[in-house]
Structure 1
Amino acid sequence: MFVTIGPPLTDAPRLLGPAQIRQLAAEIGVRPTKTLGQNFVHDANTVRRIVAESGVGADDVVLEVGPGLGSLTLALLGTAGRVVAVEIDPVLAAKLPSTVAEHAPAQSGALTVITADAMTVRADDLPVAPTALVANLPYNVAVPVLLHLLAEFPSIATSLVMVQAEVADRLAAVPGSRIYGVPSVKARYFGAVRRAGAVGRNVFWPEPKIESGLVRVDRTDTHPDDPQVRAAVFAVIDAAFAQRRKTLRSALAAWAGSAAEAERRLRAAGIDPGLRGERLDVDDYVRLAAVD
């Protein structure tokens, strides 16, 4: 379900601080839970920085996942043309429209709130196709949520997400590095990936035990936007990293049917069968998946 409120006007939103965040939580009886990965940002400068780094503007429809109490939502409404917020917690989803009406009355009509799980949300669930993704993703499911949204919404041209610092490093890792793996390659299927900054623990309530980082993905049309092609490529990636200490000849044996067939396909794709999976970039995996 989704609810849209008010007509948009022009005054700048009033951003939330620590006192407002705690007050809003108390009003609706919300206590942040680890299960839903709830850590609410309470620093106005941080959300301003996220919005600035995202590069969104008046022509953008921003998809925000996990808006929580609305800190980032308000900052986005001050810049983007429209925000579609997907919130799994029905209590938080119900509160967000009134928070926006109070703190950003001029932009209230630019907000749509959808009560849904970001892991299962589909294009038909949204009233309009998003052009950008900007979100503080739940850290326990950040990678699968990001990959699902990039696959489900090809209209998303840019993504800026806040994730656990270690996950940010993995997503932005390059071939040959120690932390380069499945998330690194799959994210690159959709576009160029880079680290876009760090976020300290002290800007959250409650304060997490881990550091956070920003990752930006700029979509390219290099690889086919075809679910079957993508699934085939991702299957090769999963197989190559399932036994990352092994050479590709051995690691891909089950995927190809035998080590000999894996070697044949690798050579047909112009890839040395003696390499390991972390030496290949996403273009290599795309070529390999296309070999008959």
Structure 2
Amino acid sequence: MTGLLGPAEIRDLAGRLAVAPTKRLGQNFVHDPNTVRRIVAAAELPAAAVVLEVGPGLGSLTLGLLDHVRHLHVVEIDPVLAAALPGTVADRGGDLGRLTVHQADALRITGAALGAPAPDALVANLPYNVAVPVVLHLLAELPSLRRGLVMVQKEVADRLVAGPGSRTYGIPSVKLAWYAAARTAGRVPPSVFWPVPNVDSGLVAFTCREPPLVVATESERALRQRVFAVVDAAFAQRRKTLRAALAGWAGGPARAEEVLVAAGIDARARGEELTVAQFAAIAAAAPIVTTTAE
């Protein structure tokens, strides 16, 4: 059984490495073993899971995951922390054969860089300042991912799991919904971190699924880019109707209304009312309208 890190071990390790948590990298280290156990349990990982962890820091969650996975890839941007992690794992009785450390930026990591075995789950305490871009990048880059559990700022967690019509529903909600069904998996208090953040954290669990729209003649990436362009345009002006909000994207209000009618969407609706499938229908309708108009 791999030994976990408590508050004293975290501070001692940071002192030996001369590491001071920085806001620039969004570093808040978990020092509570019970919180680590809770995260691992909430991830519901099968024994054969290959997990990707982003931002392992001093290794609290890494140590908790190692006993529950077939293999663990960790991506750490800080070279000092990345270099120290294998030693920490060895000192705490962890199986180094299950661990691959990648000193890299999670916003730029690729499936090829991770190598085999390909991760099928994402479990991470994500830096607050890049949480949403990291999740969306990894889901786009790693089609092998089937599930995930991420800890993010509570406000961000609320946005990620929000549904149409909710006050917090927006671009992160829709874009995550393209890839997966998401749900809230709990709240985490500031007291379990060092340094202590001034906000609560939230756990978001997700299960990946097929995109809501598939076009045989178009790649998933190209289709996703078109759908996300519609989403970005719709939420750029939240209080406007779709006819007005999509005018710039479609080439004018009248053109936007034609596309919306073709997609079966009320032109007077607003972006915060639509599901990801409806956004996909709008994107799919655009080339059809263009063709008929010409």
2:113 counterpart of 1:125? yes
Deviation at 1:127, TM superposition (A): 2.1
Residues 32-81 of structure 1 show CA distances to partners (whole Å, capped at 9, x for unaligned) of 00000000000111011111111113211100000000000001001111
- Separation in structure 2 between the aligned mates of residue 201 and residue 228 of structure 1, nearest angstrom: 40
Please state whether the residue corresponding to 1:194 is helix, strand or coil.
Answer: strand
* Residue correspondence of structure 1 range 204-243 to structure 2 within 5 A: 204-223=193-212, 224=214, 226-243=220-237
Q: In the alignment, is the contact (CA less than 8 A) between 1:21 and 1:42 conserved in 2?
A: yes
- Count, aligned residues: 280
Provide the residue aligned with 2:128 in structure 1: 139
Which structure 1 segments of 5+ residues have no match?
1-11
Provide the residue aligned with 2:13 in structure 1: 24
Residues 144-177 of structure 1 show CA distances to partners (whole Å, capped at 9, x for unaligned) of 0110001100111001000000000011111001
2:30 counterpart of 1:41? yes
- Separation in structure 1 between the aligned mates of residue 210 and residue 236 of structure 2, nearest angstrom: 28
Please state whether the residue corresponding to 2:240 is helix, strand or coil.
Answer: coil
Provide the residue aligned with 1:9 in structure 2: none
- Separation in structure 1 between the aligned mates of residue 18 and residue 101 of structure 2, nearest angstrom: 20
- Separation in structure 1 between the aligned mates of residue 98 and residue 47 of structure 2, nearest angstrom: 11
Provide the residue aligned with 1:186 in structure 2: 175
Q: Which moved more, 1:51-60 or 1:155-164?
A: 51-60
- Separation in structure 2 between the aligned mates of residue 83 and residue 90 of structure 1, nearest angstrom: 18
Aligned-residue CA RMSD (Å):
0.9
Residues 237-282 of structure 1 show CA distances to partners (whole Å, capped at 9, x for unaligned) of 0000000110000000000001111001101111000000000000
- Separation in structure 2 between the aligned mates of residue 139 and residue 73 of structure 1, nearest angstrom: 18
> Which residue identity does 1:226 align to in structure 2?
E
Deviation at 1:179, TM superposition (A): 1.0
Deviation at 1:221, TM superposition (A): 1.2
Please state whether the residue corresponding to 2:280 is helix, strand or coil.
Answer: helix
- Structure 1 stretches (4+) deviating beyond 3 angstroms? 222-225
> Which residue identity does 2:224 align to in structure 1?
R
Provide the residue aligned with 1:264 in structure 2: 258
> Which residue identity does 1:187 align to in structure 2?
L
Residues 81-115 of structure 1 show CA distances to partners (whole Å, capped at 9, x for unaligned) of 1100000000000000000011134x111000000
Please state whether the residue corresponding to 1:217 is helix, strand or coil.
Answer: strand
- Separation in structure 2 between the aligned mates of residue 92 and residue 172 of structure 1, nearest angstrom: 31
Please state whether the residue corresponding to 1:22 is helix, strand or coil.
Answer: helix
Which structure 2 segments of 5+ residues have no match?
288-294
Q: In the alignment, is the contact (CA less than 8 A) between 1:74 and 1:104 conserved in 2?
A: no
> Which residue identity does 1:21 align to in structure 2?
I
- Identify which of 272, 285, 289 aligns with 2:283: 289
Deviation at 1:222, TM superposition (A): 3.6
Provide the residue aligned with 2:73 in structure 1: 84
Provide the residue aligned with 2:141 in structure 1: 152
Q: TM-score normalised to the size of structure 2?
A: 0.94
Q: In the alignment, is the contact (CA less than 8 A) between 1:193 and 1:217 conserved in 2?
A: yes
2:102 counterpart of 1:108? no
- Separation in structure 1 between the aligned mates of residue 13 and residue 45 of structure 2, nearest angstrom: 27
- Identify which of 239, 243, 248 aligns with 1:249: 243
2:184 counterpart of 1:195? yes
> Which residue identity does 1:211 align to in structure 2?
D
- Separation in structure 2 between the aligned mates of residue 13 and residue 126 of structure 1, nearest angstrom: 24
Work out which structure has the larger RCO, using CA pairs closer than 8 Å and 6 or more positions apart in sequence: 1
Please state whether the residue corresponding to 2:39 is helix, strand or coil.
Answer: helix
- Separation in structure 1 between the aligned mates of residue 47 and residue 166 of structure 2, nearest angstrom: 38
Please state whether the residue corresponding to 1:178 is helix, strand or coil.
Answer: coil
Q: In the alignment, is the contact (CA less than 8 A) between 1:63 and 1:83 conserved in 2?
A: yes
- Separation in structure 2 between the aligned mates of residue 61 and residue 127 of structure 1, nearest angstrom: 12
2:48 counterpart of 1:66? no
